[in-house]
């Protein structure tokens, strides 16, 4: 998949959940656009392999751990002197109807999606402030906008990310930082884990008639991360074949 050309030469990008799926495609995209890329993931083996394959740096970090996140930001900023763009993309599913959800299903999903987004953004604020520049791109979901049976935990986390995006956009604007979100729809491992019947139902509801490819998420993220998008903040951009219309 060929993307619109962007130039991120001299910029440092950190992508959570970078071992596979959308995160890994974003890593490829930012490498091609000249950035120094750090793929962060709690899957140490896969993130090591993915980073070696695309020419990025691998950081073994669990976004639900403040210590891991702070250590990762310390490593990235001491190696490159900066952190310009973060993509809060790491995520898991623990789908069940709400009366079957355990406390752990609830807490883990919130701690990773919403908590991880908060933790990495918070850890980067001192660097964004001293640079007078930063780009935060969060990854929400159609489910956070509209709800979805079996995903009360995920919907809550993804809706929370939208509230966080808008609040952080207001708080960080004074430091030259924009905070936006994408709502993707891409055929990844996460989609493969959806039962076939449900998946066919979802595909049929997409106006463009198919799931997207992870690489099709990149131009939207690249645009929001670019200096040219500096007057856009607090938006949620669906990149979803029209499913959220
Ligand atoms: N694929 C879609 O259609 C779709 C739709 C809406 C939203 N999303 C969101 O996009 C993001 C990426 O999804 P994907 O489809 O590429 O999924 P994926 O399962 O292919 O990749 C997710 C990555 O996150 C990592 N991860 C999970 N928990 C982590 C943690 N605690 N710390 C660090 N890394 C962790 C996993 O190891 C994995 O590499 C997720 O936030 C997901 O909710 C995806």
Delimit the domains of the chain by residue range. 12-239
- Cα distance between residue 12 and residue 82, in whole Å: 6
Contact 94, 20 (CB under 8 A): no
> From the CA of 88, how far away is ligand 1's center (Å)?
10
List the residue whose alpha carbon is closest to atom 20 of ligand 1: 21
pLDDT of the residue at 190: 80
Architecture field, domain 12-239: 3-Layer(aba) Sandwich (3.40)
By percentage, how much of the chain surpasses pLDDT 70?
Answer: 98
Does residue 3 carry a pLDDT above 70?
no
Contact 53, 122 (CB under 8 A): no
List the residue whose alpha carbon is closest to atom 11 of ligand 1: 89
Question: What's the DSSP call for residue 16?
Answer: E
Q: Per residue in 79-92, pLDDT tens?
A: 999 999 999 999 99
Query: In what side-by-side order are the strands of the sheet with 85-88?
Result: 57-60, 36-41, 12-16, 85-88, 134-139, 177-184, 236-239
List the residue whose alpha carbon is closest to atom 24 of ligand 1: 17
pLDDT of the residue at 4: 63
Question: Pick the catalytic residue: 38, 142, 154, 231?
Answer: 154
Ligand 1 pocket residues where CB is under 6 Å: 16-17, 19-23, 41-43, 62-64, 89-92, 112, 139, 141, 184-186, 188-191
Q: Per residue in 61-81, pLDDT tens?
A: 999 999 999 999 999 999 999
Q: Is 231 a catalytic residue?
A: no
What's CA 78's distance to the chain center, in Å?
23
pLDDT of the residue at 213: 94
**Mean pLDDT on 104-121:** 98
> From the CA of 89, how far away is ligand 1's center (Å)?
6
Q: Per residue in 224-244, pLDDT tens?
A: 999 999 999 999 999 999 999
Q: Per residue in 161-207, pLDDT tens?
A: 999 999 999 999 999 999 999 999 999 988 887 888 888 888 898 99
Closest of 191, 107, 87 to residue 148, by C-alpha: 191
Query: What is the CB neighbour count within 10 angstroms for residue 198?
Result: 13
Give alpha helix (H) positions in the chain: 21-32, 44-54, 66-80, 103-131, 142-146, 152-172, 189-192, 196-204, 218-225
pLDDT of the residue at 202: 82
- Cα distance between residue 157 and residue 147, in whole Å: 11
């Amino acid at each position: 998949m060929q993307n619109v050309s962007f130039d991120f030469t001299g910029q440092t990008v950190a992508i959570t959940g970078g071992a596979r799926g959308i995160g890994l495609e974003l890593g490829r995209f930012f490498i091609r656009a000249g950035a120094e890329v750090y793929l962060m993931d709690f899957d140490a083996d896969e993130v090591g392999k993915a980073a070696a394959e695309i020419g990025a740096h691998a950081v073994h970090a669990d976004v639900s751990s403040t210590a891991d996140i702070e250590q990762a930001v310390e490593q990235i900023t001491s190696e490159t002197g900066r952190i310009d763009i973060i993509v809060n993309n790491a995520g898991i599913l623990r789908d069940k109807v709400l009366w079957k959800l355990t406390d752990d299903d609830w807490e883990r999903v919130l701690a990773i999606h919403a908590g991880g987004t908060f933790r990495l953004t918070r850890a980067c604020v001192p660097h964004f402030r001293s640079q007078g520049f930063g780009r935060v791109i969060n990854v929400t979901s159609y489910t956070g906008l509209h709800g979805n049976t079996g995903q009360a935990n995920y919907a809550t986390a993804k809706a929370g990310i939208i509230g966080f995006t808008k609040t952080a956009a207001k708080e960080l604007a004074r430091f030259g930082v924009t905070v936006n979100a994408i709502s993707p729809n891409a055929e990844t491992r996460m989609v493969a884990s959806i039962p076939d019947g449900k998946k066919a139902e979802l595909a049929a509801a997409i106006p463009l008639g198919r799931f997207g490819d992870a690489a099709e998420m990149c131009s939207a993220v690249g645009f929001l991360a670019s200096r040219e998008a500096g007057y856009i903040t607090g938006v949620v951009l669906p990149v979803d074949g029209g499913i959220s219309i």
